[in-house]
Chains A and B, each alone.
Chain A
Amino acid sequence: MSRLNLAAPQNPVEVVEIRFRGRVQGVGFRPAVWRHARELRLGGEVLNDGEGVLVRVQGERAIIDMLVDRIAGDPPPLSQIEAIEITAYAGVLRDDFAIVESAHGGAHTEISPDAALCADCARETTDPFARRFRYPFTNCTNCGPRLSIVDGIPYDRAKTAMSPFAMCADCAREYRDPSDRRFHAEPIACHACGPKAKLVRLDGRHFTFEQFSMLDDVDAACSLIQKGEIVAVKGLGGYQLACDATQADTVRRLRKLKQRDGKPFALMARDVDVIRRFCDLAEHELVALTSPAAPIVLLHANGPEHLPDEIAPGLRTLGFMLPTTPLHVLLLRRMDRPVVMTSGNLSSEPQVTGDTEMTERLAGIATFALTHDRRIANRVDDSVVRVVAGGPRLLRRARGYAPAPIALPRGFAKAPDLLAMGGELKATFCLLKDGAAILSQHQGDLEDVATFDDYRKNLSLYAALFEHEPTAVIADMHPEYLSSKLAREHLAGGTLPLMEVQHHHAHVAACLAENGYALDGRPVLGIVLDGLGWGEDATFWGGEFMLADYVGYTRAGTFKPIPMLGGVQAVREPWRNLYAHLMAEMSWAELTMNFAELELHSYLAAKPRALLDSMARNRINAPPASSCGRLFDAMAAALDVCRDAQSYEGEAAARLEAMVDEKTLADEDEALAYPLTIPNLAGTGLPYIEPLAMWHAVLGDLILKTPAPVMAARFHKGLAKSIAAMTRKLAGSPEDGERRFSTVALTGGCFQNRILFEEVVRRLEREQFTVLSHARVPSNDGGLALGQAVIGAAHLMK
């Protein structure tokens, strides 16, 4: 009070409260404020509370404005300010400036994503005169592990995997000094006090070090990789398997030992210059690669040099990331070639996180392991980004992104706290809390025991980290999804209401939510190009046109329902879909009469057709599915790019995309794109995409020996064209008055296909539709939980 009176009248001293919202906790925000305030000689305090960061200052208004400008203009690297509000403050403040303890105990929003080594720490780690020279666990408030090491809240060292490591005096000093970059950096460590990396042999034999020139164990691991060894590396969120990507026989050996048939391997390169030798980098790709999240970025393999085919068989993309931790930086320091850095697991299992499991599971694959004594508290997989239609899009959201909250659109501020369970494959779950969505990291396919264990563990972890007590649970309608069953069983003994949401409606809602589409916005047309999801009519859906908002939807159009011969086998074996598709359009006699000369005909003739026919006729494990994914499978089988079996989910579609001839795509007459028509389904009258004419054209092209890349291009174009035609049809022509919708939301796993996505977007935008699509949340089932959550909230707020 007295201080107020001291102010000169022409330069009145004000006392204000500045509220910062967004990602401002656990990212070094308070020390940054502290440094700026000290420089400006402002008195006051800064603290974390449930809503973000609160700054209380007194001083001349101009100086206070300067403070705000400096913070906003140079925020800590990992922070993201979403809002700044300045209000008058009536309290008494101190003369100096201080960081004060959090206003409430929890500070639950402090758990941020793991971040790649920052430039400052990188410099220290490689500076021979720095205290942390070649220290593989260097970090600061601007970088380092977070989600991967946290056990509970409050987020301090005792509740992390760093708890066994007592800080040395030097680290403690940095930790306590607000002017230091490591002020309150919970994982702070150095050679003297922190975790240590160690190279071990997994075959029980003794080391002979004479053969390497050796700085330390990390450097020795680099030598091993250079020599063609496969080395297990304890990464940030799980073990990885590393080997020299340029040595084809080593890569082949890794593929065989890991029992990984065809799924592409991720690559790591020391720096972007190494990557540029193999891939041209576009601006967005460079930005994504070098961002603190440091994801795997899928790049076009069009550089001057080539990597062996074994890296990504049948594809034209390479998934590159830069070193994500100081350990990786040091490991790759002398490595001027890319290394395979794939998850340390056997095919279809989650990556190993425990040291004992590692020796059990990976000893058969790697002879050496570069390990360390910091426990991986939570498995966090590498994230995957692809730049499509000019922007980065997440295909897998995990390390570096989760669990950062996703702000919800207008109308959801008062959403109740909910838990959405997600799907079955690429499982994630989502908490709704304080009007934001917290989408878990990608966890994998729930059928795997270890993945399901992780999923349950993470449900508890997130509930604790975010002090979350849901008022309802939302799950997919599928009768057999393990996540849905867990919700049903978990609730049978509890009191929480359960709401079941249709799969593709959830996809659409996820797309709306991430685009900030307001709760009371007009219904949009959701175009969901997907594999399979359970429909309200107890059949499988997977290529859907839905007039939808957050509350509900009407199914306005669909793909042609085709029986999946052998249920799940039809997903594994693309040829089954080819046969089912062809037999839905013509008889075998017809096919034989006109196309007997085709190799495809003799291939199918050798199959047990009588049996398949009676399966289709008598509906024996042949559920009809209106799936876009199965159409891709059928086409891939027709072109023989992936026919007998897929070795990983989506392989057929990925190979088909990779095969597309870009010139045909860009230059060929639209009329040659394969024709798909839009008649109405008998019975329901629902308009659907009919591939009859397309199949005739495909078979005709095969007779003419049209090159497969040209055919693949015609397929993508034809499909995109028919999707635009369906959209037009459902919107009604503008001459009739207003269109039924002006906004279209593109979602579903098939939209990960770059060509299909870009072709559809181009056509819809040409017709003046506003196109919403996914960027921060995957369009595949990894985004499902977000959609479920907002649908649940919309219902509960009705």
Chain B
Amino acid sequence: LSHGSGGRAMAQLISGLFHSAFGNEWLARGNDQSAFDVAAGRMVMTTDGYVVSPLFFPGGNIGSLAVHGTVNDIAMAGARPLYLSASFIIEEGFRFSDLKMIAESMGEAARAAGVHIITGDTKVVERGKADGLFISTAGVGVVPDGLDLSAEKARVGDRVLISGTLGDHGVAIMSKRQNLAFETEIVSDSASLHDLVAKMVTAGGEGIRLMRDPTRGGLAAALNEIAQQSGLGFRVQEEAIPVKPGVAAACELLGLDPLYVANEGKLVAIVAPEAAAAVLATMRAHPLGCDAADIGEAVADDHHFVQMATSFGGGRIVDWLSGEQLPRIC
């Protein structure tokens, strides 16, 4: 792809690519915007930028990730995602075939999730102004009647449920980016979680206080954020946290704590204790929640700490990181 391609040919080439990949009635109209009917009730809207490197990784690429990420941000409100927009910033010289592949997996991810990418934009920028390809997606969704998930609803004694193993995405990306050869290939968990969420909401109802996708900063960042917002602390059990053996071995070698590693197809739910068993069973019955686990509980803590319980009742503080995982040992 070349820069400055306000030219007709290039514009047509690109729009042709997206039209065929995303193929839907809204795009087909060719407007700069798309109109759609609004459902009665509460809607959610979200936006996110994707700058992942490498663009292709085991288990997905930037395109599928851009769909999953935005769908999940909508789903974390308990909402059903409806429409997405997508904006592409492409570095001059980017391979058309790669773009095509990315667009196709985006379309595929959207179809699988039952959402439509109904508007978009592309810009090709000079070499060096972007790193291959950046994608920005926004999305809207509708929240079922009466559902209002929020951190303030969390109470002492609530259970912390996680939908599956931790660290798969972050380690997959890192191994691909740095060409690290691990014994077993580690595949990103990138996936759309709204269907899992819908079933959890049916099972748990009001008992579900809130959900969060532990992406950047991993479960540690997500729980610290919730702790801060809810004014509570969390205490999780080390041995209850599911981590794939391959990921655990990789983390051990790399000296990374899987709690801090990114996930793209996992959610953490804070659930009232009386609803926890039903929600957990529902999660485990779903293909995206088969490794789901109850990993701990909300506790009263004026410092809003997240702590990792050791097997004998002690605990270590799992704090926010201001940057990388830096040793604090002297």
Contact residues of A with B, CB < 8 Å? 259, 346, 348-349, 360-361, 364, 423-426, 446-450, 452, 456, 478-482, 485, 530-534, 540, 542, 564-571, 608, 610-612, 614-615, 618, 620-621, 623, 629, 649, 749, 780-781
Contact = CB atoms under 8 A, between A and B. Distances in A.
A780 B330 contact: yes
B327 A571 contact: yes
A479 B326 contact: yes
A611 B180 contact: yes
B329 interface: yes
Contact of A425 (B316, B323, B329): B329
A350 to B, nearest CB: 9
A567 B326 contact: yes
10 contacts: A348-B310, A360-B313, A361-B314, A478-B326, A479-B323, A531-B330, A612-B253, A615-B178, A615-B180, A621-B324
Contacts of A446: 317
Nearest to A453: B303
Contacts of A425: 328-330
Contacts of A479: 322-323, 326
Given A480-B321, A614-B178, A615-B254, A447 B314 contact: no
A623 B326 contact: yes
Contacts of B57: none
Contacts of B315: 448-450
Given A346-B314, A361-B313, A621-B324, A610 B329 contact: no
A531 B329 contact: yes
Contacts of A540: 327
B174 A620 contact: yes
Contact of B327 (A530, A568, A614): A568
B316 A449 contact: yes
A614 B330 CA distance: 25
Nearest to B321: A480
5 closest cross-chain pairs (CB), A and B: A566-B255, A569-B255, A449-B315, A568-B327, A531-B330
B83 interface: no
Nearest to A448: B316
Contacts, number: 122
Contacts of A424: 328-330
Given A348-B310, A449-B316, A611-B253, 10 more contacts: A259-B312, A425-B328, A449-B307, A542-B330, A569-B254, A608-B253, A614-B178, A615-B178, A623-B327, A629-B330
B255 A481 contact: no
Contact of B255 (A346, A447, A452, A567): A567
Nearest to B308: A449
Contacts of B96: none
Interface centre among B252, B253, B310 (most CB of A within 10 A): B253
A531 B327 CA distance: 11
B255 A621 contact: yes
Nearest to A565: B255
B228 to A, nearest CB: 11
A534 B326 CA distance: 10
B305 interface: yes
Given A364-B312, A447-B317, A568 B329 contact: yes
A361 B312 contact: yes
Contacts of B314: 346, 348-349, 361, 448-450
Nearest to B315: A449
B24 interface: no
Given A346-B312, A361-B312, A482-B317, A449 B325 contact: no
A345 B292 CA distance: 33
Contact of B319 (A259, A480, A532): A480
Nearest to B330: A531
Contacts of B313: 360-361
A480 B330 contact: no
B12 interface: no
Contacts of A360: 313
Contacts of B325: 567-568, 621
Q: How large is the interface on B (under 10, 10 to 19, 20 to 34, 35 or more residues)?
A: 20 to 34
A749 B330 contact: yes
Interface in B279-309: 303, 305, 307
A139 to B, nearest CB: 32
A353 B315 CA distance: 16
Nearest to A780: B330
A629 B327 CA distance: 14
A608 B329 CA distance: 25
A532 B181 CA distance: 29
A479 B319 CA distance: 12
Contact of B329 (A612, A615, A621, A649): A649
Nearest to B318: A447
Contact of A447 (B178, B179, B181, B328): B328
A628 to B, nearest CB: 11
Nearest to B179: A614
B181 A611 contact: yes
B329 A571 contact: yes
B256 interface: yes
Nearest to B316: A447
Nearest to A365: B312
A71 B329 CA distance: 47
A593 B310 CA distance: 46
B252 A569 contact: yes
Contacts of A571: 327, 329
Interface string B176-199: 001111100000000000000000
A449 B305 CA distance: 9
A168 B310 CA distance: 45
A343 to B, nearest CB: 13
Nearest to A649: B329
A567 B323 CA distance: 14
A533 B174 contact: no
A781 B330 CA distance: 7
B194 to A, nearest CB: 34
A580 to B, nearest CB: 12
Contacts of B174: 620
Contact of B330 (A346, A530, A564): A530
Contacts of B323: 479-480
Contacts of B305: 449, 452
A531 B322 CA distance: 22
A171 to B, nearest CB: 39
A315 B1 CA distance: 67
Nearest to A615: B254
A531 B330 CA distance: 5
A479 B328 CA distance: 9
Given A349-B314, A531-B330, A568-B329, A480 B255 contact: no
B330 A533 contact: yes
Given A346-B314, A449-B315, A611 B182 contact: yes
Contacts of B326: 478-480, 534, 567, 623
B327 to A, nearest CB: 4
A781 B327 CA distance: 15
Contacts of B254: 566, 569, 615, 620-621
A449 B299 CA distance: 13
A362 to B, nearest CB: 10
A423 B324 CA distance: 19
Contact of A449 (B179, B312, B317, B329): B317
A710 B153 CA distance: 66
A446 B182 CA distance: 34
B289 to A, nearest CB: 30
A424 to B, nearest CB: 4
Interface centre among A426, A479, A565, A610 (most CB of B within 10 A): A479
A567 B181 contact: no
Contacts of B324: 621
B139 to A, nearest CB: 33
Interface in B145-181: 174, 178-181
A610 B328 contact: no
Nearest to A456: B303
Contacts of A349: 310, 312, 314
A391 B182 CA distance: 52
A187 B36 CA distance: 79
